[in-house]
Structure formats: C-alpha cells, structure tokens
A and B are shown apart, each in its own frame.
Chain A
Amino acid sequence: MIDELAEKDKKKEKKKVENQEHRGEARKIEVAHHENEGEQHSLKMKAEGVCAWFGTKQALYDVNMAIYEKDVTAIIGPSGCGKSTLIRCFNRMHETVPGSRFAGDIFLEKDSIFDPRMDPVVVRRRVGMVFQKPTPFPTLSIYDNVAIGLRLNGMRDKKVLDEVVEKSLRKAALWEEVKDSLQKAGGALSGGQQQRLCIARALAIELEVLLMDEPCSALDPISTTKIEELIHELRQNYTIIIVTHNMQQAARVSQRTAFMLNGKLIEYDATEKMFTNPENKLTEDYITGRFG
C-alpha cells in the first residue's frame, strides 16, 4: 500500500520535472523568437527625457526608455534609485504627490499622455497599476472590488458585470479559490489572494499596459510563483512593466530589463544580454551582487 503511494508520488514528481523542463524549453524558444522578430513587437510606450522631482529633490534624471508591446519589461536597481517614481510617471500617478514636478514626455502609442487633451483619468484606465502592498478595498466584497472600476465608469448591466468579474478573476488565477465566496470582504483574503484580487481589479477595466511595483515583495514563495506564472499568461494580451528587487525574478519573467541607479537609467537591453553580458560595469557589479 505504502509502496504503491510512494510509487505514485515518484511518478508525479517525474511528471512535474518534465513539465518544468518543458516550460523551460518553451521559454527559451520564446526569447529566441523575440530576438529573431526584433522590431516586430511594436512600440507601446516611450519615455523621453523624463525628469521628476519631489519638492526640490530630483528623483529622475533624463530617462529615455522604449516599452514594447506584449513584452514584460523589468526595472531593477538598488532601493531609492527611482524605480517606483519612474513607473508612477507612466500612468501619471506621480503628479498626485503634493509638491511633485515632472519634465519630459511619455507616449502611449502615438499620443503624449501629458497632452492637455488627455485626461489623467483616461490614461490610468489604459495603464493600470498594482502596488507593492496589496490594496484591496477592504470593506467592499470580492465581487465589488473587481466590478467597481466598471461600475464607476457607468456600467450598470448586471450580466456584463458578472461576466467581467468572472473573466478577470480567472485571468488573475483567483476564480477557483473565491468563486463560492464572492460576497466576502476583499480584506478577508490572504496577502497573496489580495494581490491577485488587485490584479483582477486592474484587468477588469479595458487595460493595455499593466504596471507592477514589486508585486511579490510582500508575498510568500508559493504566491510569488503564482503571480510569476500569471505574468507569463498575461503577456499574451498585455504589456507589462514590473519593478522588482529580485534579480532571479527579473530574469525569469521579463524579456527586457532596465537597470537604474541614483535616478538615472544606466542600461536597458534584452534580459538575456543584461544578465549574461552587460555593457556597463555598474550593471555587472549590481547583477553579480557586488553592491546594492
């Protein structure tokens, strides 16, 4: 009996390993594919000469960066180097900080998001954001947490809402865990579930780019793996920019990696290149753990 079970377990293990190898291969092919295609991935967003200040303190210096459609772009760098500030410029959240200032320009496809005719509210609907600490609306139910973005944009049709809620929760790999308790409070979920709820909430609106600011830093390894798998899935349909402190994570999930230091963009290239053969000495020192 016990032997049988052990046998079964072994088989499972083997399958898992095979699966993982399989996935590894697929990923490699993907990267190669991407490099072959080169500019096939069209430009989704573009930062031009971005500078940002908090009061008199300058946090970003002349950052130029092109974000390609349906790529995962990772931003790495030591604490305080301006990673959060940079991605908060991409959806105009930087300007909500009192006393902040911004210079330069950022394009979403062909339009400048700072064009006076562009409403920041509209920019934020197209460029969504997931924060470091999970921020579900604590007193709203799981359902309402996901539906609220659409509801506040005027959607009243219950059937459409039901559909979007289910679809978004499925995309965020949370549906199976919460489908029987949609009326439970969002604050009553575990940290990892809350983070996936926040992702679902962002996906519920018609979003094109997803910004993630250290989405896993408050999570356990299992939740982290789930979110990383999720990022792979989401890549099919969305452009993703992720800030991370975890170099392995950047290597695992991203196609392109940017390295920042003291508010400047030091190097920005294909992830493989950045991790195997960086141009800049500073990047190499950081990646090999010599500082930071």
Chain B
Amino acid sequence: MNFDYQTRRKLTDRTMVFLCGAAAFIAMIPLVSLILYVLLQGFKRLDWAFLTHLPAPVGVPGGGMANALLGTLTLMLLASLVGLPIGIMAGIYLSEYGKKNKFAWAVRFTSDVLSGVPSIVTGIVAYTLVVKPMHNFSAIAGGIALGFMMIPIVTRTTEELVKMVPHSIREASWALGVPQWQTILAIVIRTAKNGILTGVLLSVARIAGETAPLLFTSFNNQFWPQSPDEPTASLTVQVFTYAISPFKDWQDQAWTGALVLLILVLAINLAARTFFKNPRGLLR
C-alpha cells in the first residue's frame, strides 16, 4: 500500500518533469529555427560592402545598407535622448516619493497602459504631433515615436530596481548626515546603477526592431543621413521595403538586413546580461 503510493508518486513526478522538459524544448524550436533560417538566408549577402555601401539602384548588382544601419543607430540615440531622462526620473519619483499618492498611481497606470499600446498607434500620434507641423518625415519624428515607446518600459524597470535597494542602505546614508536628495542621487542610484543600465539596454533592444511607427515618421531614404530633420533610412524599414519588392537581389538583401538587425539586438541583450551579472559593472 505504502509502496504503491510511493511508486505512483515517483511516476507522476517523472511524467511531470518529462512533460515540462518537452514543452521547454518545443518552446526553443521557433527561436532556434528562426535564428538558423535568418543566418542561412542572410549570410549569402553579408560582406563588408553590405555594411559600408549605399543601396544600389534596381538592376545594378552590389550595394548595401550602410545608411540604414547608421539611420537605425541614429534613431536609437534620439529615442534614448527622449526616453531615458524622462523614464529614469519618473521611475525614481515613483519608487522614492510615490509610495501611496494618487498621482503616482496614475503614472503607474498610464505607464502600464502605454507599454501595451500597439506601436503603430504611437506612430500615428508622432505623425500628427511632429511630422505634420514640420511638413516632412524626419529622424527626429522617428526618435520621438520610439522614445515614447521607451518611456513606460524604462519607468517601470527603474522603479522596480530602485525599490530593490535595501532600506538599510538609505538609513546608513541618512545616518551619515547625507540629505535625502543626495542619498537618492549619490547612494541609491549608484547602488542600482547596473540594474538600471540593464533595463535601459533591454528597452533600447526592444525598440531597435520597431518598424510600424517608423513607416510614417522617419520614413526612408536612399542616401546617407545628412541631418536629423530629413527622412532617414532604418534597417527595419529597409528590410520591409526590400522584402516585399519583386527583385531577387533585394529580397536577398532583406534577409541580410534582418540578420544584421538580429545580431545588433542580440549584442545589446548580451551586454545587458553582462551588466546584470557583474555587480560592479563594466563602467567605473
């Protein structure tokens, strides 16, 4: 009887482990096959010229996506300029001053809603607010749209990470005669620095792959970006344009563009992980 019960329990246990393991394996399949497929398809055209040359006109062989790569980096920078200061400061406010007040509750609520808003909607808003008054597509508009998307992510991760700094650290700082605002800036933020950096990097990686809001903000461009108030190419939009084109060479290039984008995002993710693992951080 007792023996029976034990064997049955062991059996159930094994079955559960097996089922969960199998599910985990299946969950990995799409990701791995996606990466492999993009690698296979994109590798053909990946060379130095692809990373350093402008797109070639239809029918002319060669050419690359250098302008789009640069454009994507520009957009990430602009988006960070918009999203990081607001997001980080809002996060600090929520964790340090917004324990129970109504305003903080409203900020949290809007952040959560905002992070669920489809990116195309953010795009339309940026189009109406920035592109229309400026009368043309521009990197600025794209950066603002992406920055809007970053704000809620950065706000909430910063809040969580600043909250994780133990109360005893703040007390120790007060007991040293450090005023509250300096305690936050010099002690709490510095203690949470690596975590915040991780959150920032992940949010940048997240927006690097956005296409929809860029279609009607930064649009596209066949040439090197000259200034941020001009239409600007980006990897995502370029991949989109090339992928739906009827030309074989362009379709191949779309795959390579996708590969470059994937590598970029993976690199940022890896960097984020390093920061999180290494409590002292790479920057000092």
Contact = CB atoms under 8 A, between A and B. Distances in A.
Interface of A: 91, 93, 96, 121-125, 128-129, 131, 133, 135, 137-140, 148-149, 152-153, 185, 187, 198, 201-202, 205
A149 B187 contact: no
Range for the number of chain B residues in contact with chain A: 20 to 34
Contacts of A121: 177-179
Given A148-B186, A152-B182, A152-B186, A137 B177 contact: no
A121 B174 CA distance: 7
B175 interface: yes
A201 B191 contact: no
A91 B178 CA distance: 13
A128 B175 contact: yes
Interface of B: 168-169, 171-179, 182, 186-187, 190-191, 193-194, 279-281
A149 B186 CA distance: 10
B178 A131 contact: no
A205 B177 contact: yes
Nearest to B173: A137
B174 A137 contact: no
B165 to A, nearest CB: 9
Contacts of B281: 139
Nearest to A201: B176
Given A140-B190, A152-B182, A135 B174 contact: no
A53 to B, nearest CB: 19
Given A93-B171, A96-B171, A152-B186, A138 B176 contact: no
A205 B190 contact: no
B169 to A, nearest CB: 6
Contacts of B169: 135, 137-138
Contacts, number: 67
Contacts of A93: 171, 174-175
A156 to B, nearest CB: 14
B176 to A, nearest CB: 5
22 contacts: A91-B175, A121-B178, A121-B179, A123-B177, A124-B174, A124-B175, A125-B176, A125-B177, A128-B176, A131-B168, A133-B168, A137-B191, A139-B191, A139-B280, A139-B281, A149-B176, A153-B177, A185-B279, A201-B176, A202-B175, A205-B176, A205-B177
Nearest to B179: A121
Contacts of B182: 152
Main secondary structure of the interface of B (DSSP, over half): helix
A139 B193 contact: yes
B171 A138 contact: no
A128 B176 CA distance: 6
Contacts of B279: 138-139, 185, 187
A179 B225 CA distance: 52
A161 to B, nearest CB: 15
A91 B193 CA distance: 29
Closest 8 CB pairs of A and B: A125-B177, A135-B172, A124-B177, A129-B175, A149-B176, A135-B168, A121-B177, A152-B182
A133 B178 CA distance: 20
Contacts of B179: 121
Given A138-B191, A139-B193, A148-B186, A124 B280 contact: no
Contacts of A96: 171, 174
A93 B167 CA distance: 13
Contacts of A202: 175-176
Given A123-B177, A137-B169, A148-B178, 7 more contacts: A93-B171, A93-B174, A121-B179, A124-B177, A131-B172, A135-B171, A152-B178
A169 to B, nearest CB: 16
B174 to A, nearest CB: 6
* Most A-side CB within 10 Å, residue of B176, B186, B194, B280: B176
A23 B190 CA distance: 44
A153 B176 CA distance: 10
A91 B176 CA distance: 10
Contacts of B186: 148, 152
Contacts of A198: 172
B197 to A, nearest CB: 12
A138 B175 CA distance: 16
Nearest to A185: B280
